[in-house]
Amino acid sequence: MSGTPAPRPPFVVTPGPHLRTSESTAGIMWWVNAALLPTTAWGVWVFGPPALEVILGAVAGAVGAEALANRLMKQRLTVKNGSAVCTGLLLALTLPPLVPWWAALIGGVFAILFGKMIFGGLGYNLFNPAMIGRAFMMASFPVAMTIGWSIPRAWYSRLEAITTATPLGVMREHDLQAALHLIGGPEGWFRLLIGLRPGSIGEVSVVLILLGALVLLARGIIRLYAPLGVFFGLALMTSFSGAAWLHMLSGGVWLAAFFMATDYVTAPVTRPGQLVFGVLIGLLTGLIRMWGGYPEGICFAILIANAMVPALDLWFRPGRVQTAGAPS
């Protein structure tokens, strides 16, 4: 009958937390991508066209894999929200600049399919997809992933790329004095900060990574609990090595602390959980760097810590607020 009101939709109960925010998923992801642009552009300028090829390959692989998975799973197209671009970009920024572009493309495909879509898509994955992709590439292309470093062009007057070892690699294979010799005195510490040193494409400039992180902090997209925990854990583990500052300024710790340890999906929900999560990443990174088989341990540290997130959310779940006299 025309006077009969339409039935009300059923009451839907979903798991918490329930937050109201003006930010959408797409908005957040594109802000993260924008915050990564300074260190991305710097990596391309420092390492030249090979770095750009790696970035384009990884992003193309990630975006293409997500679009294909959406089609096969009969889902709506989700590549527009920017999460696949973010995964490919983060993966590329952790890779050596001389890795073949096709290897980066394969890594991007694997990161999306086995780090994200196999779990159901964005919001369901347990592990950081970019780190899943990097771990796969370390196992599949070990030579390219260990000798694909190049000296920044500013070190050799814009000649062709010259392969070399990173400071962490030299310290791992030789000793601290050899790594300090590679850095080259007081001016070398300045190069570590601004990014004129061998390393992964997007990990070399601490200053530009921090600039992007400040943008995300200003927008309220990330919080400092996990990053501070990462720095504290790494400093604690390396404090007796005599090379704590070298560990803090080398490798991917800054990129990981601000752009991976703060990931909404694979990090704890509560603030204490985020802090412990970060400390765990820092401790494991230092442990692998000093006694493990790899000069850099941030990738495996993040994946191990990701597996601890459900437990951390359980251990640090907030207490229920109960008004006096109200039923429990």
Cβ-Cβ contacts under 8 Å for 293 (sequence gap 6 or more) = none
Whole-angstrom distance, CA of residue 19 vs CA of residue 200: 36
Residue 50 lies in a domain: yes
17 preceded by cis ω (within 30°)? Answer: yes
Residue 326: per-residue pLDDT: 55
- Cα 193 to chain centroid, rounded: 19
Alpha helices (H) in 73-185, listed in sequence order: 83-93, 101-115, 129-140, 142-147, 167-173, 176-183
DSSP result, 211-238? HHHHHHHHHTS--SHHHHHHHHHHHHHH
pLDDT in tens, 281-315: 999 998 988 887 777 889 999 999 999 999 999 99
Decide if 55 contacts 98 (C-beta within 8 A): no
Whole-angstrom distance, CA of residue 112 vs CA of residue 117: 6
Whole-angstrom distance, CA of residue 83 vs CA of residue 53: 20
Decide if 274 contacts 318 (C-beta within 8 A): no
Low-confidence ranges of the chain (pLDDT < 70): 1-22, 147-189, 191, 197, 320-328
Q: Angle between the 186-194 and 206-219 helix axes, to the nearest 10 degrees?
A: 40
pLDDT in tens, 61-114: 999 999 999 999 888 898 999 999 999 999 999 998 889 999 999 999 999 999
Residue 15 lies in a domain: no
Tokens for 183, please give them.
Answer: 């850095």
Decide if 216 contacts 31 (C-beta within 8 A): yes
Measured CA distances, 200 to 127, 134, 183, 318 (Å): 21, 12, 16, 39
Residue 46 lies in a domain: yes
Closest CA to 155 of 194, 117, 212, 208: 194
Whole-angstrom distance, CA of residue 167 vs CA of residue 36: 23
Helix (H) or strand (E) holding 298: helix 298-315
How many separate domains does the chain show? 1
What's at 119, amino acid-wise?
A: F
**b/e sequence 227-251, b meaning 16+ C-beta within 10 Å:** bbbbbebbeebbeeeebbebbbbbb
Residue 161: per-residue pLDDT: 46
Residue 31 lies in a domain: yes
Decide if 127 contacts 82 (C-beta within 8 A): no
Residue 312: per-residue pLDDT: 94
Residue 241: per-residue pLDDT: 78
Residue 4 lies in a domain: no
Closest CA to 277 of 220, 213, 232, 221: 232
Residue 322 lies in a domain: no
Measured CA distances, 118 to 66, 73, 129, 132 (Å): 11, 10, 11, 12
Residue 187: per-residue pLDDT: 64
Domain of 206: which CATH number?
A: 1.10.3430
Domain span at 247: 27-315
Residue 203: per-residue pLDDT: 78
Cβ-Cβ contacts under 8 Å for 261 (sequence gap 6 or more) = 226, 227, 229, 230, 267, 274, 277, 278, 281, 302, 305
Whole-angstrom distance, CA of residue 46 vs CA of residue 309: 36
pTM above 0.75, yes or no: yes
Residue 223 lies in a domain: yes
Whole-angstrom distance, CA of residue 178 vs CA of residue 239: 19
